[in-house]
Amino acid sequence: MDVQTAAVPPPRAGAAEGSEVSAEPAPSAGPGSAIELVGIAKTFASRRGTVAAVERVDLVIGEGEFFSLLGPSGCGKTTTLRMIGGFEDPTEGQILLHGKDVVGVPPNHRDVNMVFQSYALFPHMSVFENVAFGLRRKGVAKRDTESRVREMLELVQLEGKADRRPRELSGGQQQRVALARALVNRPRALLLDEPLAALDLKLRQAMQLELKRIQREVGITFVFVTHDQNEALTMSDRLVVMNAGRIEQLGSPREVYEHPRTRFVAGFIGTSNFIRRPVRSMEGDVAVLDSGTDERIVVPGARGRRRGRTPRRRHGAPGEDRADRAAALGRPLRHPGACRGGRVPRHVDAVRDAVAGRHLTDRVRAERGRRHRPR
Amino acid sequence: MSAVLDRPVQAPQRTRHPRRWRGWLLPTWSWLVIGWLCLPIFVMILFGFNNTQGKFNIKWQGFTLQWYRQLFTIPDLTNALEASLSIAVIVTVIATILGTLLGMALGRYKFRGIGSVNLLLFANIAAPEVVLGASLLSLFLTVGIPRGYWTIVIAQVMFSIAYVAVTVRARMAALDPALEEAARDLGANGVATFFRVTLPLLMPGVMAGALLTFALSIDDYIITSFNAGQTVTFPLWVYGASRNGVPPQVNVMGTLIFGFGVLLAVAGAAINRRRQA
Ligand SMILES: Nc1ncnc2c1ncn2[C@@H]1O[C@H](COP(=O)(O)OP(=O)(O)OP(=O)(O)O)[C@@H](O)[C@H]1O
Ligand SMILES: [Mg+2]
């Protein structure tokens, strides 16, 4: 059980480049922002008053980025995506697509396309007609339409299926038609609402690679909604973890995985256990916890908790040092004076990755001995 | 392990017993019902070929095609058929359009009063025709509208809308709203979305409603008789003639209308199958 943090492989291949263990700065959106959400909120009127689906979301998604919205069911991912696509109007806030405020602009006048969770392929049209639908609405010349559709079907490897009806295709093929139908319009951003959720595991993994390949090939911004953390961690350049209509954390997959900013993120990402044990000793910023047996629990980043309330969460703040990061983690500390000025905390809450077996510092919470009730 | 092995051995034994009587009972029963349903139609068709001599066409007197040749020799009957057909076409067009719009609204949107509208549709279908006909007549009398061709149209549209609305409502409710959103997303405006996506997908429901309306209209007697004034439709004429004996031309016309209906239904099914294939 004596586990160290060094030299642990990244969450999944391709999740993030670089071999540094500590958090890299999240690649920020950069100057060419494709989508900006400014103080977005959405409430639905329901029979019992109003439901807040999204509360104050601020987000900047960069040009050409593969960006994921990750979160549990009902956290507002779909609602956020639908607001970008123009299917819902935000109750509050602004949506900027390439710098232009598009609130109130109908979907057919927005330069983004959507891949629906149900695919929403037109059942009365052939694959070809489905893919050609958008071009025909825009009055693209017949010959151009033909060649662009063929080209797109080639990209998604469905050349021979042009005359089929959607119902004659497998789930994965339907999914690719939906993708082709959206991409053929050359949108400036593609919105994908859990496009892989209906596929079985094997196909899903194949399609994940496929999606990545296509995104690289076309170089379009992808906004990808999923409740599958593996999917988000493997595919994204950056992601946000959402909970109850709010953003919990924004960052690169590696950042979010290794340095969950809140207890929620720590619990949601990875398979982890929370452990609270008394501190046996403190070596630098590594706490050694008493496991109750002969084993030791070693927790890095357990030092440097500031006294009093923790500062507000800071999104995407790059390059914090460990002490700062530890301070930024967690909820307001209810036990002031716990570990001030290098004092050794009595007890520490640690997040333990149940798969990799190592300890992630989520929050380090010390308690006075007297108040501590052993479990 | 033994339980796994036992099961396939036991299963056929358990099903063999019921299959023995199901083997003949179900087909026999089915054919009896089908025969029962088809008998009147068969009699109608058969007696259109009856070489009847007297006024009454109820006894088989040999095969002839003369009634087909003399189909339009009774002017009143011909006029009545014409009135019925033209009314049916007008009613079908109006009721299908209105009923489709109503059914779409009921199947997709939630709005104030949706419950009462649904109840109204149900009441319209469930209410006895005599009541509908009589109350409509008193309405026309009160307002002072002269009864005739157009009051028949109004009356029939009134009771047909509910049937169209109900079939379209079911279809609309089953339609994934994302399909229309996808159309909008791909650049279609409201009109293009309706005509290229919504309407084609609702078509089976719309066609079913239209066929039902046509059939209801062409053979409606009760409501029409209240509101017809001096206008005579095919069913009204037949009913009037039945006291003195129904001429075989009626059987022939009935056969042709029936054949036309079957043709439409078959064509509709074929189109549907092709579209889905
Ligand atoms: N049209 C609506 N009317 C009322 N409430 C809604 C509506 N759409 C969404 N909500 C509510 O808003 C919240 C967020 O919904 P949303 O569909 O965005 O969740 P989600 O993150 O996409 O979840 P899932 O992973 O299950 O798809 C939920 O509580 C939901 O009940
Ligand atoms: Mg959703």
For chain A, positions 124-143, list CB contacts with chain B under 8 A.
124, 133-134, 137-138
In this predicted model, what pLDDT tens digit does every residue of B165-190 receive, in sequence order? 999 999 999 999 999 999 999 999 99
Does B35 reside within a domain?
no
> Is A226 touching ligand 1 by the criterion CB < 6 Å?
no
* Mean pLDDT, residues B80-86 taken together: 94
Q: Read off the pLDDT band of A8 (50, 70, 90).
A: very low
Domain count, chain B: 1
- B83 against A349, higher pLDDT: B83
User: Which domain covers residue B199, as residue numbers?
Assistant: 74-246
pLDDT value of position A49: 83
pLDDT value of position A357: 60
CATH code, domain carrying B121: 1.10.3720.10
Q: What is the CB neighbour count within 10 angstroms for residue B154?
A: 16
pLDDT value of position A207: 84
Task: Print burial letters for B211-230: b (CB count within 10 Å at least 16), e (below 16).
Answer: bbbbbbbbbbbebbbbbbee
Distance from C-alpha of B239 to C-alpha of B246, rounded to nearest angstrom: 9
Angle at A266 between CA A264 and CA A267, to 5 degrees: 65
pLDDT value of position A316: 32
Does B172 reside within a domain?
yes
Q: What is the dihedral of CA A231, A234, A240, A244, to 10 degrees?
A: 30
* Mean pLDDT, residues A226-250 taken together: 91
Residue A128 has pLDDT above 60, yes or no: yes
Residue pointed to by tokens 């950056």: A238
Exposed / middle / buried, residue B264 (Cβ in 10 Å: 0-12, 13-18, 19+): middle
Give B201→chain A minimum CA distance, Å: 7
CB A314 within 8 A of CB A328: yes
Residue B52 has pLDDT above 70, yes or no: yes
pLDDT value of position B57: 81
User: In chain A, what percentage of residues exceed pLDDT 70?
Assistant: 64
* Mean pLDDT, residues A23-34 taken together: 55
pLDDT averaged over every residue in chain B: 88
Q: Which residues of B touch A167 (CB under 8 A)?
A: 276
Residue B122 has pLDDT above 50, yes or no: yes
Q: Read off the pLDDT band of A34 (50, 70, 90).
A: confident
* Mean pLDDT, residues A97-122 taken together: 90
**Separation of CA A272 and ligand 1 centre (Å):** 27
* List of residues 6+ apart from A57 with CB closer than 8 A: A37, A39, A40, A41, A76, A80, A93, A242, A245, A246, A247
Does B155 reside within a domain?
yes
The DSSP bridge pattern shows strands A347-353 and A359-360 to be antiparallel
Q: Read off the pLDDT band of B161 (50, 70, 90).
A: very high
Task: State whether ipTM is beyond 0.90.
Answer: no
Does B218 reside within a domain?
yes
Most confident of A17-26, A167-176, B9-18: A167-176
Does B48 reside within a domain?
no
pLDDT averaged over every residue in chain A: 74
- B16 against B152, higher pLDDT: B152
Q: Which two tokens stand for residue A84?
A: 């970008």
Does B240 reside within a domain?
yes
| Lowest-confidence segment of A33-47, A210-224, A353-367, B261-275 by average pLDDT | A353-367
- B245 against B220, higher pLDDT: B220
* Mean pLDDT, residues B64-88 taken together: 91
* Mean pLDDT, residues A165-186 taken together: 91
Does B140 reside within a domain?
yes
**Separation of CA B154 and ligand 1 centre (Å):** 45
pLDDT value of position A26: 44
* Mean pLDDT, residues B235-245 taken together: 89
Considering every ligand atom shown, identify the ligand nearest to the alpha carbon of residue A193 and give its number. Answer: 2
Q: Which of A37, A50, A68, A79 to mutate to test the pocket of ligand 1 (most atoms within 8 A of CB)?
A: A79
* Mean pLDDT, residues A260-271 taken together: 78
pLDDT value of position B8: 45
Q: Closest Cα to atom 11, ligand 1: which residue?
A: A53
Q: Read off the pLDDT band of A337 (50, 70, 90).
A: very low
pLDDT value of position A124: 92
* Mean pLDDT, residues B16-34 taken together: 80
pLDDT value of position B20: 67
pLDDT value of position A271: 67
Domains of chain A, each with CATH number or no CATH: 3-111+187-268 (3.40.50.300), 274-360 (no CATH)
User: In chain A, what percentage of residues exceed pLDDT 90?
Assistant: 34
Distance from C-alpha of A349 to C-alpha of B200, rounded to nearest angstrom: 60
* Mean pLDDT, residues A308-312 taken together: 33
User: In chain B, what percentage of residues exceed pLDDT 70?
Assistant: 91
* Mean pLDDT, residues A7-13 taken together: 37
Q: Which two tokens stand for residue A119?
A: 């695919």
Subunit contact A185:B201, Cβ cutoff 8 A: no
pLDDT value of position A10: 38
> Is A82 touching ligand 1 by the criterion CB < 6 Å?
no
Angle at B58 between CA B55 and CA B63, to 5 degrees: 90
pLDDT value of position A345: 60
Residue A38 has pLDDT above 80, yes or no: yes
CA distances (Å), origin B57, targets B37, B49, B52, B234: 21, 10, 6, 18
pLDDT value of position A225: 94
Q: Which residues of B touch A106 (CB under 8 A)?
A: 184
Distance from C-alpha of A248 to C-alpha of A261, rounded to nearest angstrom: 8
> Is A227 touching ligand 1 by the criterion CB < 6 Å?
yes
Residue A364 has pLDDT above 60, yes or no: no
Does B236 reside within a domain?
yes
Which of A120, A134, A167 lies nearest to residue B181, judging by beta carbons? A120
pLDDT value of position A22: 37
Give A236→chain B minimum CA distance, Å: 24
